[in-house]
Structure 1
Amino acid sequence: MTLFDRLKADAAPQWADYTRHDFVDQLGRGSLPMACFRHYLVQDYLFLIQFARAYALGVYKSHSVADMRLSLEGVKAILDVELDLHLELCGNWGMNRSAIEDAPEDTPTMAYTRFVLDAGMSGDLLDLQAALAPCVIGYAEIGARLVAEGLDRDDNPYRRWIREYGGDTYQELAADFTRWLDNTASQVLTEKRYPRVLSLFEKACRLESDFWQMGLNAKN
């Protein structure tokens, strides 16, 4: 059992609330109001900027060159792939980079990003990874499930998003993160420390659910 498997099992209610949120279900069915997705997408762009900083913090917190490289790959994946996806989707509504980056952060966005950065600043690499894991691995699980259920069909307005996170490239990124988390845990995790790691993971799951809900609340 990987550390992620153990965390997911011990935080089962929080994980289910996050990965099976009504926002995700509506997105999969294609019934999510466009205003909800648009608000989520802009906020997620702002979130990813801070997420890239968290990965950069991972470079500083790393004790080996291998870990530094893995942290750097996370930064590059966000800056070179995920942000471009958001710009592409937002561009469909006539929104350019400046308009997105100048948008104000919503409260759930601030709460989540500051939580992740604080986990990394106050803790070590494992603490940072525990706070990052729900987002990195959760999106892969959500994307894979929606693809497996055939919900990336051509008439779904959100098929591009589903195919991105359900596709091979992102799935491998998440698998690499899971292995990285395990490798770090093998070096520093003890049973005495595990409750703290679990607490960080649970909190991140709750903040992910709040993030989806923020999107659902933006119906107009």
Structure 2
Amino acid sequence: METSESTASLGPSSPFSEELWEAIGPTYTAILDHPFITGLVDGTLPHDAFRHFVVQDSHYLRDYARALALCAAKSPTEDDVRAFARDAVNAVAAEQEMHSEFMYQLGGSAEEAEKLPVAPTTRAYTSYLLATVYGGSFLDGLAAVLPCYWIYARVGEALLAKSSPDPLYAQWIAAYGDPAFQKVVRRVVNLTDRTGADSTPRQRAVALAHFVTTARYEWMFWDASWRQESWPV
């Protein structure tokens, strides 16, 4: 029997976010098991590795803010436009405030971090992110930026009960386990479900592929900091 266009366009029977999270289950488990993350909790992570992370995260967040601004421009409602624009501003504020404080505690400065080169994984991740948000649909862009929201929230939530004997790492964990941040992430996940429900199966499949890719980049980002990655040539 032929499937009508209206039937083919029906949304999924369960929230799209469930399908997305299920698709990255092994990646999320690998993130929690990574020595960078376990080192945050037990305090054994070398400060040089955390410093690498802070520097690269500063570079990353500048382009992430641009990606969020593009999501704002493509958003379907005025409320969504305002919310993504606010998130873009907050991403820059985080780079300026939290990372400046971390660099100070590590014996450096925000100005120093800005002068250090963008590492290969950071460059690859932000290039993919911006290309997807620029060239894809709103759902594609939403799926591409979502792992940075969602994985950080889940990691922060998982680590909050454990905290860390290192005050620097405890401060980082508290920032992402904070209820205010969790509320922001729930808003974006709910928007993803609404947008996914109004999309075709093909559109959701494309968006899911972007989500899986940027989730893998999240693991790679922490791994690059653990290895203190630099350009080989």
Return the TM-score normalized by structure 2: 0.86
Post-superposition Cα deviations, 1:119-140, rounded to whole Å, max 9, x if no partner, equal 1111121111111111111000
Q: Percent identity?
A: 29
Task: Select which of 28, 35, 53 maps to 1:40.
Answer: 53
1:78 aligns with 2:78: no
* Larger Cα-atom Rg: 2
Number of the residue aligned with 2:192: 181
Whole-angstrom distance in 2 between the partners of 1:36 and 1:107: 16
The corresponding residue for 2:155 is 142
Alignment of 1:43-82 (within 5 A): 43-82=56-95
1:198 deviates by 1.4
Structure 2: 5+ residue stretches without partners: 1-13
User: Aligned equivalents of 1:145 and 1:165: distance in 2?
Assistant: 10
1:198 and 2:211 are equivalent in the alignment: no
2:178 maps to 167
In structure 2, the CA distance between the partners of 1:67 and 1:7, relative to structure 1 (3 Å rule), is same
TM-aligned CA deviation for residue 72 of structure 1 = 0.6
Runs of 4+ in 1 over 6 A off after TM superposition: none
In the aligned structure 2, how far is the partner of 1:17 from the partner of 1:70?
Answer: 31
- In structure 2, relative to structure 1, the CA distance for the partners of 1:197 and 1:147 (3 Å cut) is same
Which stretches in structure 1 are left out of the alignment for 5+ residues?
Answer: none
Q: How does 1:98-109 map to 2 (within 5 A)?
A: 98-109=111-122
How many residue pairs match? The answer is 216
Deviation at 1:89, TM superposition (A): 0.7
Measure the CA separation in 1 of the matches of 2:222 and 2:58.
Answer: 14
Looking at structure 1, the residues matched to 145 and 101 of structure 2 have their Cα atoms a distance apart, in angstroms, of: 24
Q: 2:103 aligns with which of 85, 90, 99?
A: 90
Please list the CA deviations of residues 25-45 of structure 1 after superposition, one character each: whole Å capped at 9, or x if unmatched.
111111111110000111001
Q: Deviations over 1:140-176 (max 9, x none)?
A: 000010012x2x2454541000000011121111111
